[in-house]
Amino acid sequence: MNTTFSPTPAATEEQFGRRVAARLSAGNLELPHEVGERLRAARMQALGRRKVAHQLRAAPVVVSSGRTAALGAGWWTRIGSVIPLIALVAGLMVISAMQDDNRANELAEVDSALLTDDLPPAAYTDPGFAQFLLKTEAAAER
């Protein structure tokens, strides 16, 4: 049986930290005593901050009196996370339907204007008629 070990990100991070610390400690012997002491004090402060940050990141522990309370909390959480998604999809469907209705109304207005006009619809596609309209508009503005 051939198994491979894949370390977790936390284990990889821990290994990296140990290698960096070993490398820094090896170079620490060549430094003057005062500088080494300041570095040691800085390391201790950094470790203290890391412990505090790690404690702040720890998840709060919830104690329930029974198994049903834990299951109920998970159920409500799932429902609460799905409701906004359902509302978003419903809103998008309503917006799409409204836009389709508006577009159909606009096209119906244009069609009714064309069909009830005195000119035949073919007149609007005639390039000479477009020129005639431009000249008529220019003369009316003067």
CA separation for the pair 42, 101 (Å, rounded): 69
Judge whether 51 and 44 are in contact, CB under 8 Å.
no
pTM of the entire predicted model:
0.37
Task: Decide: helix, strand or coil at residue 58.
Answer: coil
Cα angle 34, 39, 44 (rounded to 5 degrees) comes to 125
What pLDDT band is residue 32 in, cutting at 50, 70 and 90?
Answer: confident
Q: What is the mean pLDDT of residues 51-65?
A: 61
Cβ atoms within 10 Å of 79's Cβ, excluding its own: 9
CA separation for the pair 93, 21 (Å, rounded): 57
Q: So what's the pLDDT on residue 85?
A: 94
What tens digit of pLDDT does each residue of 130-139 get? 888 888 888 8
Q: What is the mean pLDDT of residues 5-34?
A: 76
